[in-house]
Structure 1
Amino acid sequence: MSLQGELHAGLADPVFDSQRVFRAVLDALARPGRIVDLPGTCAAVGGLAAEPLAILLSLADNTTAVWLPESLRGDTLTRHLAFHAGIALTTEPAKAAFAVIDGAVDAAFIDRFAIGAPDYPDRSTTLILPCADLTDDAGWSLAGPGIETTARLGIEPAHPALETAIRRNAALFPLGLDAVFTAPGRIAAIPRSTRLEE
């Protein structure tokens, strides 16, 4: 089979869809815990669901290395990301601008991702966590910029390692990691400025 025959379609409308995904991610980061609609823009490829894939195709490029867990490092997804967005993968967490996180990644490993530097706090990793479901009426209690009083965000399945990392993260601000959660048709985010309350 030719290489061309093995390729999958990227974003349905690369210009419009990438702008829509970008706006959705910004909205989610500006309002921590708020669930934002992300209508379908592409299909799942190589084991990666459509929503995290759309985020990578919209926000990453040949200047932003992407880290994937072992379960997603197949040729199909690697080729897809390279062909549609020029994305190169890295096996070094500290070099990743974006990282897809699954339940196999523990808190100690999450600590290996870049948190930025005092002069360049933006040189940090954005974590993308595919979930089965998101809810805003249960789960973590959030506080911080963009939240008037408190907000709630629940993810399914639970990810204790990520909770540990987010609690550590708040003490690092303005350094730290930003986390974007995806579920079918929806996303939510917890930026580095957000605290998890007891």
Structure 2
Amino acid sequence: MLLPGFDDAVQSAQRTFRAALDAMSRPGSVRELHESCGVPHGLSPALSALLLTLVDADTPLWLPPGVPAAVRAFLRFHCGCPLVDDVARAAFVAVPAGHAAPALAACAQGDPAYPDRSATLLLEVAALSGGPAVTLRGPGIEHEAALCAQGLPADFWTQWHANQARFPLGVDVLLTSGHALSALPRTTQAEL
């Protein structure tokens, strides 16, 4: 049985988009998303809300192999997004908990004339607190901020340094856990 999307599609999408923008403008900060929407098995509430808000018929989405068919049906019905097999062709790359994330360098990087054509990675982690502290610096951070995410891929920060060095090209990342959201724009520098 197909789950519903947002209870109030316009207002919920606007609030979710504003939360995502706020998170992007303040890297490492944690925002809570409590929009009422269907959450298919395999997605978290925050990841479901972000996907309902960000993907549509013009935004190809990549999902890892093994994501339940119910998730794919939910997204096709509510978002109308094309699901692509080649991660480099995706505008959004969504990785639910328990699935391997592709290498950041494998995702669309944009090109010098159009760096905005890069991918945004939506990555579900175990928690956005309680993990090893990583110091963040860059635009949107007055002095420094700390991100303490649990469950990132083992080589994530090595990949992140290479991603950040490719600026203005590179991938932006939205981290989710349960109802929580945090962001790492490609301009953010991370120090372990």
TM range (shorter): over 0.9
- Does structure 1 residue 166 correspond to structure 2 residue 172? no
**Which residue type is aligned with residue 173 of structure 1?**
F
Gap change, CA 1:65 and 1:85, over 3 Å in 2: same
Gap change, CA 1:91 and 1:7, over 3 Å in 2: same
| C-alpha contact (below 8 Å) 1:141/1:150 kept by paired residues | yes
Bigger shift: residues 36-45 or 58-67 = 36-45
Instruction: Find the counterpart in structure 1 of residue 126 from structure 2.
Output: 132
Q: Residues 46-125 of structure 1 correspond to what in structure 2 (within 5 A)? A: 46-72=41-67, 74-101=68-95, 104-105=99-100, 109-125=103-119
Unaligned runs of 5+ in 2: none
Tell me by how many angstroms 1:8 deviates: 0.9
Secondary structure at the aligned position of 1:156 is classed as coil
**Which residue type is aligned with residue 63 of structure 2?**
L
| C-alpha contact (below 8 Å) 2:104/2:163 kept by paired residues | no
- Does structure 1 residue 149 correspond to structure 2 residue 143? yes
Tell me by how many angstroms 1:130 deviates: 0.9
Instruction: Find the counterpart in structure 1 of residue 17 from structure 2.
Output: 22
Instruction: Find the counterpart in structure 1 of residue 26 from structure 2.
Output: 31
Tell me by how many angstroms 1:104 deviates: 4.8
Unaligned runs of 5+ in 1: 1-5
| C-alpha contact (below 8 Å) 2:109/2:115 kept by paired residues | yes
TM-score where L is the length of structure 2: 0.92
CA shift digits 1:69-126 (9 cap, x unpaired): 1131x3211111111111111110111111123565366x332101111111110110
**Equivalent pairs, count:** 191
Gap change, CA 1:104 and 1:56, over 3 Å in 2: closer
**Which residue type is aligned with residue 132 of structure 1?**
A
TM-score where L is the length of structure 1: 0.89
Tell me by how many angstroms 1:183 deviates: 1.4
Which one has a larger percent helix, Structure 1 or Structure 2? Answer: 1
Gap change, CA 1:158 and 1:85, over 3 Å in 2: closer
| C-alpha contact (below 8 Å) 1:106/1:161 kept by paired residues | no
